[in-house]
Amino acid sequence: MAGTNGHTRRVPRELPTIVVIDDSTEVRAVITARLRLSGLLEVVGEGGDGTEAVGLAFQHQPSLLLLDLSMPVMDGLEALPGILAVSPATQVVVYSGFDEGGLAQSAEELGAAGFIEKSLPIDRLAGELLAKLPEHHVVPGPRARPAMTVVADPAAHPPIRGRDQQVLDEHLERFREVFEQAAIGMATMTLTGSIVRANRALSDLMGCKPHELVGLDYGRLTSGRGDLLDAALFDITRMSADIVHLEHDVSDASEKRKVLATLAPVRDSRGQALYVFLQVQDITQQRAAEEELRRSEERFRLLVEAVRDYAIFMLDPHGHVASWNAGAERIKGYSATEIIGQHFRVFYPQEKRDEQHPEFELQQALRTGQYGEEGWRLRKDGTRFWANVLITAVFNEMGEHIGFAKVTRDMTEARRVTEQREAAAAAVAAANEQLQRAAEEQRQFLAVTAHELRTPASVLGGTADTLSRHWSELSADDRTRLLHSMSSSAVRLQRLVTDLLTTSRLDADSLRLRPAPTSLAVLVATAIETVRSTREGAGAGAVTAHLEPDVQVLADPGRLVQAIENLIGNALHHGAPPVEIRIGSARGVARVEVTDAGDGVPSEVLKRLFQRFSTGDGARGTGLGLYIARELARAHDGDVVYEPGTPDQPAGTFVLTVPLVPDGDT
């Protein structure tokens, strides 16, 4: 009975006993305090996980046991069968922040007497718990307790909802928003991995109904990789990890799938984990694409490594070698362990390094995307090879420059073939030019020969005809003059034939010399006499000679006389009298100098002065005299040169040199 003074009137009676199980010490403190203050229940024990719940149930055999779901070591659903096994009369009430219908059903199927949400105002908790007891409940226990009926006076014990209710509210499920329409699989788990809420996307992914997942250990859905889940939960509860990822196959799906599970703890204000929020994403297609990309990259890597005709390798952004294939090792001579990490300038000759050409190539490739060239490169042993090079700047998907791809091909053999081809083409062109020149020379030769033959042939023919028809009519002087003309023409023809024959032998390299020690003065005198006897009327009398001091030369007399004759004849034919001849020696060779009083050789004629058929004025002579003189001198290991004149003597001098007789051979 309540007194008029408003205080609580206690009626002795035996109170139902209760054990409170929650991993949060704050929650237990609030609940036990409020239950004791209610006067309706006697709190006989409290614990922080499922294993303690089983032990306390066995020890106290309580009337009620308030059991949290999400706890480390062993959660509420796992502990429930054990509690009822050791204390069958205990009414176990599951206390959770989740309102999932399937969760309450799972708890009842395991033997729970009821399900109370943590959202229930704490001042109603004691009454809700008492309502879970049977109508004729007998309080068991190891000892008798004084019974007492407590009638709460609202004035004396007003409802307290401030801080106590706030503590409980922190442990309510933090993600009450509707997530059924989410495209990604979502669930909330206890700290030991039991699912207490799941959305439709997750159930579709697992090939079942949402309520079939409630109460199920997520480890059973990992295709035998529950160890991965245990490790992830350990990281969250013991290592304070905020996010943990694990990847596994789906075991109960109609088709094989691979998923990525992301676990994140829901913590209270003190950082203690209350539940685990789970996101499960189907990554089957992504992993298949990644695997295909990996296989493609592997095939490409194997292909690159197998290619032996091309050096294919990567450079980092600064030009250091980052990869190396078999072709690079074959072409350049370095193994991968030797070259990776070195700057690629080691492949360039020193002069290119001094010019910083390797760095220039990278700059150009980065500026334009690619750079290509051909040039000399170095092998490991220092030998050079001709390389075709292509450098490509490489960027990642974010547009960041990550290096360069470099492809080098050894083109040494191809260059050699090209050079041979070009040389052959040049040789053919030169041969064609030579043929054209020979054809031109032949044409000129025929024209010159015809011109040179025409005059003596006409003289011989005309003179012979005149003498034959008019012999008796001609005077003795006329006949003598005509006969001398015939003789001169015959000598001229003979000289022409001799020059042509000599030229032919020189061209065919079939000229045979019979050298012997000979007086140079005698040879020059013989040449002068021959010219005088065959060139009367052409200034032959205006030839003077200075034949001292005499020297001995090693020469074929006939051929050397022919060469000197040609020099004297050239001076008489193209120069002006008098013609002066001097002999001498210097530095082991004899010299024959022929000088006339003309104007010298025109500058435009100098470059072709000793060529065949070069006549200077294009109308007089065969153009073979100087050519034969020089070739005969060279056949004697000598030469013929032209020394330009001076202002005092503009004609210049032709100089023939031949070796002197060695000492002891005279």
549: preceding bond cis by omega (within 30 degrees): yes
pLDDT at 354: 94
pLDDT at 615: 66
Q: Are 589 and 666 in contact (CB under 8 A)?
A: no
Highest mean pLDDT among 73-87, 144-158, 367-381, 435-449: 367-381
Query: Span 36-52, mean pLDDT?
Result: 92
**Domain 416-503, what architecture?**
Orthogonal Bundle (1.10)
* pLDDT band, residue 45 (cuts 50/70/90): very high
Do 10-170 and 185-287 show the same overall fold?
A: no
Q: How much is the mean pLDDT over the chain?
A: 81
pLDDT at 130: 93
| Cα-based angle 623, 625, 626 (whole degrees, multiple of 5) | 95
CATH of 307-410, one of 3.30.450.20, 3.30.200.20, 3.20.20.70, 3.40.1260.10: 3.30.450.20
* pLDDT band, residue 336 (cuts 50/70/90): very high
547 pLDDT above the threshold of 80? yes
Ordered by start, the domain boundaries in the chain are 10-170, 185-287, 307-410, 416-503, 512-659
- Largest distance between two CA atoms of the chain: 202
Give CA–CA dist 219/225, Å, rounded: 7
Query: Span 615-643, mean pLDDT?
Result: 78
What φ, ψ does residue 171 adopt, rounded to 5°? Answer: -100, 5
β-sheet bridge partners, residue 658? 590
Q: Are 579 and 592 in contact (CB under 8 A)?
A: no
3 pLDDT above the threshold of 60? no
Walk across the sheet containing 653-659 and list its strands: 543-546, 579-586, 589-595, 653-659, 639-643
pLDDT at 7: 36
What is the distance between the terminal CA atoms of the chain, rounded to a whole angstrom? 171
Higher-confidence residue of 550 and 1: namely: 550
pLDDT tens across 278-313, in order?
Answer: 989 888 888 888 888 777 767 656 555 555 578 889
- Secondary structure of residue 190 in the 3-state scheme: coil
* pLDDT band, residue 34 (cuts 50/70/90): very high
Give CA–CA dist 649/654, Å, rounded: 13
Give CA–CA dist 260/572, Å, rounded: 112
Burial 447-483 (b: 16+ CB within 10 A, else e): ebbeebeeebeebbeebeebeeeeeeeeeeeeeeebe
632 pLDDT above the threshold of 90? no
Query: Span 540-549, mean pLDDT?
Result: 82
Q: 340: exposed, middle or buried (C-beta count within 10 Å: 0-12, 13-18, 19+)? A: middle
| Cα-based angle 592, 593, 594 (whole degrees, multiple of 5) | 120
Q: Are 174 and 98 in contact (CB under 8 A)?
A: no
Give CA–CA dist 51/47, Å, rounded: 9
| Cα-based angle 343, 344, 348 (whole degrees, multiple of 5) | 125
Which CATH fold topology does 185-287 show?
Answer: Beta-Lactamase (3.30.450)
pTM above 0.85, yes or no: no
Q: 593: exposed, middle or buried (C-beta count within 10 Å: 0-12, 13-18, 19+)? A: middle
Q: Are 518 and 553 in contact (CB under 8 A)?
A: yes
pLDDT tens across 343-387, in order?
Answer: 999 999 999 999 999 999 999 999 999 999 999 999 999 999 999
* pLDDT band, residue 9 (cuts 50/70/90): very low
Query: Span 244-264, mean pLDDT?
Result: 83
Query: Span 433-448, mean pLDDT?
Result: 71
- Secondary structure of residue 579 in the 3-state scheme: strand
pLDDT at 46: 95
β-sheet bridge partners, residue 373? 389
* pLDDT band, residue 464 (cuts 50/70/90): confident
Specify the CATH number of the domain 10-170: 3.40.50.2300
Classify domain 512-659 at the CATH superfamily level: Histidine kinase-like ATPase, C-terminal domain (3.30.565.10)
* pLDDT band, residue 505 (cuts 50/70/90): low
